Structure 1
Amino acid sequence: MSGPLRTLRAVAYAVLPAELLLTACLVGGVTVPLPVLTAAEAAIVLLLAAEVFAYLRLRRGGRTRREAVAELAPAPVLRLVGHELRLMRGLFLWVGRRRDGVGPGDRSFGHARDQAAPMYGFTFVCVVETVAVSYLLRDRPAVHKVLLVVDVYTVLFMLGLHAASVTRPHVLSSDTLRLRQAGHVDLRIPLDRIADVRYELLFTHEQQDGVLDLKVAAQTSVTLELSEPVTHVGLLGRKKPVRTVRVHADDARAFAKALREAVNGGRAAEVPVTPA
């Protein structure tokens, strides 16, 4: 990254938190001197103009859109924004009864059934809280409007988490297994790296090196052992090599059987079962 871009990012780190603090003061009824308010707004306008100029310059220099944005914003921020967008997209797909990433000839396996009840419960609690806060703050309209936006978004976020799980099932194609969880996990495993598949219902999971637990409602039901590690990328971009993956599916036995047959080239094979 060049010096000007480092400087621009440093200015953004300083200006944006200050703008959030200023907004909180205004919402809370704190009187802000006009020169301070004017300077803050001018700083935001100049920062946005500088970001646009830098983006256009990077594009003219041959960067793709993704590369240009990555130069201007930290990777964790971009990944968080992408996660939020996937949740909102999941809501639209859910309403339209559509699924993401399932192509012709692919087999999909849902994994959201067992989390539905707790997710709906949490969402109901958020709705009740929204109504209660609106009643308590009815005499403070400015604060009420801000918190109403936050509360409504929280409800959408909870629904989006479940919608993303429903519309992003595990996908088994001719050569790849794609494991997903809500909007933050999308792990592709080549079938030729899967050494063993077994049905194994687990409700306790200890942290172990090289093991990835994709829990749903605190449980996993299928364990995959890999002959070579694959790289799992976390929500904020942290990379972790894994050789054992524990995952859950609504019909875990059918999922394990289909995967075992795919690994064995279509030949049926008995799926080992480990007692719970």
Structure 2
Amino acid sequence: MSLVRRLPGHAWQVLLVELALYRALARWVVRRPDVPAGTTPIGHGQLAGPMLWLWIFGSAVEVLVLDLVLHRWVPSLRLPFLVLGVWGVLWMLGLLASTRVRPHLLGDTELVVRSGARTRVAVPLAALEGTRVVNHALPGTVRSLHEDDGLLLVGLGSETNLELVLSAPTTLATSAGPRTVSRVGLWVDEPREAAVALRRRLSAPAR
């Protein structure tokens, strides 16, 4: 019964992800990344890009081949499978677009770590003690946030390569609700450059 009661909430979350993917795809098409004024984007899409392109190409070929087969042997199933296949390709294009138009955002007071269409973790710079270029393997790819022993990993692909060390256990606002952690792992395209940018922002005088 508890699973049944949770179904409407899960369905709503799935719908929100779906809409966010299409918004990301639209932003990518018109070349309008989601980067508010006054923030510095930190890219994180290079790792996932080649893999996603491979999936998209393979899925597009599969749609064409299946359409030809069904057109010849089972024409009544051609249209529903074509619609399903095109939807799958658009979904993956939206996921790829989200890695391009939703970079991490470095602002004056916080670093917003982002992944996929909706995942978001706000890290206050006042709580940041330092950074480390270190790799963490993700325990899975279904969930975008993984928490273990005070370490919050923001999933993108199969690993993270930059760790944010907080001065004390801090409650962070995330897209999945508050999380109290002392370290945050994320993936960035250039971890050493990102670490330098963070150190410069921390040492900059307050505005």
TM-score (norm 2): 0.83
Does residue 263 of structure 1 match 2:202?
yes
Structure 2 equivalent of residue 253 of structure 1: 192
Amino acid at match of 2:103: P
Quick one: distance in 2 between partners of 1:191 and 1:220?
20
Amino acid at match of 1:230: L
Partner of residue 79 from structure 2, selected from 145, 148, 169? 145
Does residue 214 of structure 1 match 2:148?
no
Structure 1 vs Structure 2 CA RMSD: 2.2
Amino acid at match of 2:64: V
Answer yes or no: is the 8 Å Cα contact 1:232–1:241 preserved in 2. Answer: no
Partner of 2:137: helix, strand, or coil?
coil
Structure 2 equivalent of residue 230 of structure 1: 172
Answer yes or no: is the 8 Å Cα contact 1:221–1:247 preserved in 2. Answer: yes
Partner of residue 243 from structure 1, selected from 172, 175, 182? 182
Structure 1 equivalent of residue 14 of structure 2: 80
Quick one: distance in 2 between partners of 1:135 and 1:168?
37
Quick one: distance in 1 between partners of 2:56 and 2:205?
42
Partner of 2:25: helix, strand, or coil?
helix
Quick one: distance in 2 between partners of 1:264 and 1:113?
28
Q: Greater strand percent: which structure?
A: 2
Structure 2 equivalent of residue 173 of structure 1: 107
Amino acid at match of 2:53: Y
Does residue 111 of structure 1 match 2:44?
yes
* Unaligned ranges ≥5, structure 2: 140-146
Structure 2 equivalent of residue 5 of structure 1: none
State the Cα distance separating 1:179 from its structure 2 match.
Answer: 0.6
Partner of 2:185: helix, strand, or coil?
strand
If asked which structure has higher relative contact order (CA below 8 Å, sep 6+), I would say 2
Partner of 2:67: helix, strand, or coil?
helix
State the Cα distance separating 1:216 from its structure 2 match.
Answer: 3.3
Structure 2 equivalent of residue 161 of structure 1: 95
Say if 1:90 and 1:214 are closer, same or farther in 2 by CA, change over 3 A: same
Partner of residue 61 from structure 2, selected from 128, 138, 145? 128
Amino acid at match of 2:41: S
Amino acid at match of 2:181: V
Identity %: 28
Answer yes or no: is the 8 Å Cα contact 2:21–2:117 preserved in 1. Answer: yes
Answer yes or no: is the 8 Å Cα contact 1:233–1:240 preserved in 2. Answer: no
Answer yes or no: is the 8 Å Cα contact 2:45–2:100 preserved in 1. Answer: yes
TM-score (norm 1): 0.63
CA deviations 1:28-76 (Å, max 9, x no partner) are xxxxxxxxxxxxxxxxxxxxxxxxxxxxxxxxxxxxxxxxxxxxx9332
Answer yes or no: is the 8 Å Cα contact 2:153–2:184 preserved in 1. Answer: yes
Q: Greater helix percent: which structure?
A: 1
Quick one: distance in 1 between partners of 2:11 and 2:29?
28
CA deviations 1:147-192 (Å, max 9, x no partner) are 1111101001111101011100000111111110011311111111
Answer yes or no: is the 8 Å Cα contact 1:220–1:248 preserved in 2. Answer: yes
Answer yes or no: is the 8 Å Cα contact 2:151–2:183 preserved in 1. Answer: yes
CA deviations 1:179-210 (Å, max 9, x no partner) are 1001131111111121221222x153467233
* Unaligned ranges ≥5, structure 1: 1-12, 14-72, 268-276
Return structure 1 stretches of 4+ with deviation > 4 angstroms.
none
